[in-house]
């Protein structure tokens, strides 16, 4: 089977076709636009049925993957770490878009179990919402840290509960306390309270969306002790469907729970795997701390 490797960039994509022995047959550079994608699909028709291998850079290749799948091409994703060896063993020295595209294609010839691309669905929605919520939480934490210093300067005895700057009732109480005071510090503190309030309302709304999404996709996850909507959404979003893995061992390798063998002779030992997807690796280790799944 002919394999077409794709080296993707923001403005252009370079395609290189190789035969089953890894020899370059042809190459083409197209614009990273719908018209360019159509041109690439028409160019591949000369080779009949092909396997398209793209370097795993989702934001650069996602639109192209959608057009390739719509044209009924088989598409696999090549992780960047797999390309180093292919570049070193290439027939042509140096680094260029055609060389990189050829390396992608040769990896696809060498590795039979590469992850297959598929159209986006509700799992990506879960990942996007969870990632956006995480960003808003970081912004609220930064604003809350500044707010605490100003509140301490205004009144060191002002009661602010631990983790209280994420609760609307605490914001109401602080605004009522500061309403009769004057000064620049008070003005900034009131602005920070308003910012924290707005971020909290958006975070709560996103969490509600995630909870409804998780209930539709995998309600069994919410029944696991300590697993809340945020932890379940992280698992669903990063996994993108456990059915896409060939075995439970492949899934364990992906999430970083598969032990790494370090044994020799008759003494069998393993060590902790610090690789894999660390976002999905975090929730299973936090079970028993129900609140930590939702941080």
Instruction: Write the pLDDT tens digit of every residue in 170-201.
Output: 999 999 999 888 899 999 999 999 999 999 99
Range name among 15-19, 28-32, 80-84, 117-121 with the lowest pLDDT average: 80-84
DSSP annotation of 267 = B
* Cα angle value 51/57/61 (rounded, 5°): 60
E strands, 231-276, where?
A: 260-261, 270-271
Q: Name 97's bridge partners.
A: none
Question: pLDDT grade, residue 88 (50/70/90)?
Answer: low
Q: Name 270's bridge partners.
A: 261
pTM: predicted TM-score of the whole model, two decimal places: 0.72
Q: Could you give the residue ranges of the DSSP H alpha helices within 50-121? A: 58-70, 83-88, 97-110
Range name among 63-72, 92-101, 117-126, 185-194 with the lowest pLDDT average: 92-101
**Residue indicated by tokens 């997807």:** 277
In angstroms, the CA 99 to CA 13 distance is 13
In angstroms, the CA 194 to CA 54 distance is 45
Range name among 46-55, 79-88, 224-233 with the lowest pLDDT average: 79-88
Per-residue pLDDT tens digits for 15-46: 999 999 889 999 999 999 999 999 999 999 99
Four-residue CA torsion sign, 159, 164, 166, 170: negative
| Phi and psi torsions of 17, nearest 5° | -100, 135
Q: What is the pLDDT of residue 92?
A: 61
């Amino acid at each position: 089977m002919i394999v077409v490797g794709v080296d993707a960039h923001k403005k252009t994509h370079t395609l290189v076709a190789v035969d089953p022995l890894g020899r370059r047959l042809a190459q083409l550079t197209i614009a990273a636009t719908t018209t360019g994608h159509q041109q690439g699909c028409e160019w591949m028709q000369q080779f009949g049925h092909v396997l398209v291998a793209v370097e795993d850079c989702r934001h650069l290749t996602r639109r192209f993957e959608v057009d390739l799948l719509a044209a009924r091409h088989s598409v696999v994703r090549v992780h960047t770490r797999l390309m180093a060896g292919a570049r070193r063993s290439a027939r042509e020295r140096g680094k260029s878009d055609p060389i990189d595209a050829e390396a992608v294609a040769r990896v696809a010839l060498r590795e039979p179990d590469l992850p297959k691309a598929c159209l986006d669905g509700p799992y990506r929605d879960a990942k996007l919402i969870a990632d956006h919520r995480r960003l808003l939480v970081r912004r609220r934490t930064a604003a809350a840290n500044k707010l605490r210093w100003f509140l301490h300067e205004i009144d060191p005895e002002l009661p602010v509960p631990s983790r209280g700057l994420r609760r609307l009732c605490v914001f109401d109480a602080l605004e009522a306390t500061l309403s009769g005071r004057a000064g620049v510090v008070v003005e900034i503190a009131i602005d920070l309270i308003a910012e924290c309030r707005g971020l909290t309302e958006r975070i709560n709304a996103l969490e509600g969306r995630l909870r409804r999404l998780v209930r539709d996709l995998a309600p069994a996850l919410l029944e696991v002790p300590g697993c809340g909507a945020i932890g379940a959404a992280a698992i669903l979003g990063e996994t993108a469907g456990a059915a896409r893995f060939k075995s439970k061992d492949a899934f364990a390798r992906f999430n970083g729970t598969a032990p790494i063998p370090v044994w020799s002779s008759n003494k069998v030992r393993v060590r902790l795997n610090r690789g894999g997807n660390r976002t999905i690796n975090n929730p299973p280790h936090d079970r028993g701390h129900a609140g930590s799944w939702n941080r």
